[in-house]
Structure 1
């Protein structure tokens, strides 16, 4: 997993729960990296699981809710790190429709070893989008938060619902309908 995800996660923890909580979850997790991340580094996904598990223990917030909140937070961090990607779009549905064919292609150029989820478009209209999220990591709640934040970025809103196609969350169908 790319380091930018770890650095943004720890920034979110510090911003929402304080520096002490960020330090505590690093200290209480068994991290081969010792919690020292660079945005361009690559780290084990298990380290993220450890951090989320410890944050859940510290806050009593369900892991899925923490991951969803992180999706909201991560959008801004990725937008600051790569503003040129978002600048190519003038609508949230346009951006979401282009995740696989443009945005992930751009990401792979910067981070060739990145393991990205896939988004297969099933249906698109001027006001809606249906797509299948697939990832061995099952971070569909992160995707959900990113999708919602995409609409906020464009000063729009949408009804976002999802259906687990596999119980472990590795394949999820998202239905997105932009509000009038």
Structure 2
């Protein structure tokens, strides 16, 4: 998993819970990297699993809610790191519709070893999008947070429904409807 995901996660934890919580997470999790992350590095996905599980336990927040919040936070960090990617879109639906054909191609150029989820668009109208999220990591709640924050970035109101297509959340159908 790319280091920017780890650095953004720890930044979110610090901004919400403080530096002591970050230090506690890094101390209490068995992290082969030692918790020393750089945005351009690549780290074991299981380290993120450990960090999320520990934070969930300590703060008594579901992992799903943490991942959703993190997706919301991560959008801002990704836009700051790569403003040109988002600025080329005029609408949130246009951006989401182009994840596979444009955004993930751009990401792969920057990070050839990145393991990205897949988003298959099933249908699109002027105000709606239906797509399937697929990832062996099952981080659909993170994707949900990213989707909602995308609409907020464009100052649009959205309703997002999702349905797990399997028990472990590795395939999820998102129904997205923009209002206003």
TM-score by length of 1: 0.99
Question: What is the match of residue 139 of structure 1?
Answer: 139
For 2:90 and 2:23, the matched residues in 1 are separated by: 39
Any unmatched runs of 5+ in structure 2? Answer: none
Question: Deviation of residue 166 (structure 1)?
Answer: 1.0
The CA deviation at 1:98 is: 0.3
Deviation at 1:58, TM superposition (A): 1.4
CA distance in structure 2 between the partners assigned to 1:57 and 1:163 by the alignment: 26
Q: Is the 8 A contact 1:53 1:63 kept in 2?
A: yes
Measure the CA separation in 2 of the matches of 1:139 and 1:56: 15
2:128 aligns with: 128
Q: Could you list the structure 1 runs, at least 4 aligned residues long, displaced by more than 6 angstroms after superposition.
A: none
1:26 aligns with 2:26: yes
Other-structure match for 1:5: 5
Residue number in structure 2 paired with 1:113: 113
CA–CA distance in 2 between the matches of 1:176 and 1:153? 15
CA distance in 2, matches of 1:178, 1:56: 31
- Give RMSD over aligned pairs: 0.4
What SS does the corresponding residue of 2:121 show, helix, strand or coil?
strand
User: In 2, are the aligned partners of 1:21 and 1:58 still within 8 Å (CA)?
Assistant: no
Aligned to 2:171: 171
Q: After TM superposition, give the deviation of residue 157 of structure 1 in Å.
A: 1.1
Question: 1:56-111: per-residue Cα shift (whole Å, max 9, x none)?
Answer: 12100111100000000000000000000001101000000000100000000000
Q: Distance in 2 between matches of 1:25 and 1:53?
A: 10
- Looking at structure 2, the residues matched to 57 and 124 of structure 1 have their Cα atoms a distance apart, in angstroms, of 39
Q: Which runs of 5+ in 1 are unaligned?
A: none
Q: After superposition, what is the alpha-carbon deviation per residue over 1:119-152, rounded to whole angstroms, capped at 9, x for unaligned? A: 0000000000000000000000000000000000
Kept after mapping to 2: 8 A contact 1:72/1:148: yes
CA distance in 2 between partners of 1:16 and 1:88 (Å) = 31
Aligned mates of 1:96, 1:90 — CA distance in 2? 11
